[in-house]
Amino acid sequence: MADDTTGQSRRTILGGMTFGGMTGSLFAAGAAQAAPGTQDQVPPNPVTEYPRPPFARQQQPWPGLASLMNPPPDHGETSYRGSGRLLGRKALITGGDSGIGRAAAIAYAREGADVAINYLPAEESDAQEVAALIRAAGRKAVALPGDLRSEEFCTKLVTDAAANLDGLDIVVSNAARQVWQPSIEKISTQQFDDTFKTNVYAMFWILRAAAPLLKPGSAIIATASVNAYEPSRGLLDYAATKGAIMIFVKALAKQMAERGVRVNAVAPGPIWTPLQPSGGQPPEALSEFGADTPMQRPGQPAELAPLYVLLASHEATFTTGQVFGAAGGRGGP
């Protein structure tokens, strides 16, 4: 794990990134965000900055906790530095207790947004850590536990988030179910149903309920996956849902554009989150998780947070219906 100084330097660079900076000079853009009196620093090597395989063998019961992972994931807890890019915004993030959702929640709060997070009751301990980090950033935290497989709950989730935040203008559909199975014969109807309800139906229910509340300038961000276009052999049902999410985003963006609401997605590659040790990967393969990427390591949730900030911010006003890959050098959307 990188030390705090190195992590802050890298996140400062990415935290100050604009859309143009993605294809231009990232480090020049980030230099303007450096604290007064600090000296320029050589950017860290992204290949060696974070933990690399082999990892310790580990398993957790579903849905898993970030606090029990070894090594612990980096969600930007000590490194992400905001610059007011989402000041006064109001965000709902599903799966906000850990992984990518947690990293987005921390970044949004430090950029000035109030944040409501959804999670399963079994993830309460992780969720309370996130809520404390949001409040430490001086923003309002709203914890809304519940099961996204329920249409009734998903509708209530949006209503409760908007009521507690006094509005809603960012919705991040991120929560996911992922279970590795070696063959189609091993996938039960219940597993298939749970995966689609969590990953696709919940997104539909939540965004249908949120659509009337979103005013011009609002943003919707979904979490797709490298599996949408480069599916893993053991993630048949999960990959199918991620392909559906990618196309859903592209179609919904065309509907919402006339309302001034942008819709985009992030498609991560292998990311070190509780999804992996709680059934998302075979236990015997987890020790080499991420080794097959060109960077030879998995990504950390903190490395994706700047993308979620960018897509929520007014810096990306002409960006909608797009899928942004973050897969460590593997194929893209």
Residues annotated catalytic, as ranges: 238
Q: SS3 for 92?
A: strand
- How far apart, in whole angstroms, are the C-alpha atoms of residue 90 and residue 161? 9
- How far apart, in whole angstroms, are the C-alpha atoms of residue 34 and residue 8? 10
Cα end-to-end span (Å), the chain? 29
CA nearest 19: which of 319, 263, 225, 326? 319
Beta bridge partners of 118: 94, 144
Please name the residue that has the structure tokens 């990188």: 2
Altogether, the residues listed in the chain come to a count of 333
> For every residue of 234-259, which 3-state class applies, written as one string?
CCHHHHHHHHHHHHHHHHHHHHHHHH
CA nearest 196: which of 211, 176, 180, 182? 176
Strands 219-223 and 170-173: parallel
- How far apart, in whole angstroms, are the C-alpha atoms of residue 96 and residue 119? 6
> For every residue of 104-163, which 3-state class applies, written as one string?
HHHHHHHCCCEEEEEECHHHHHHHHHHHHHHHHCCCCEEEEECCCCCHHHHHHHHHHHHH
H or E segment and range at residue 9 = helix 4-15
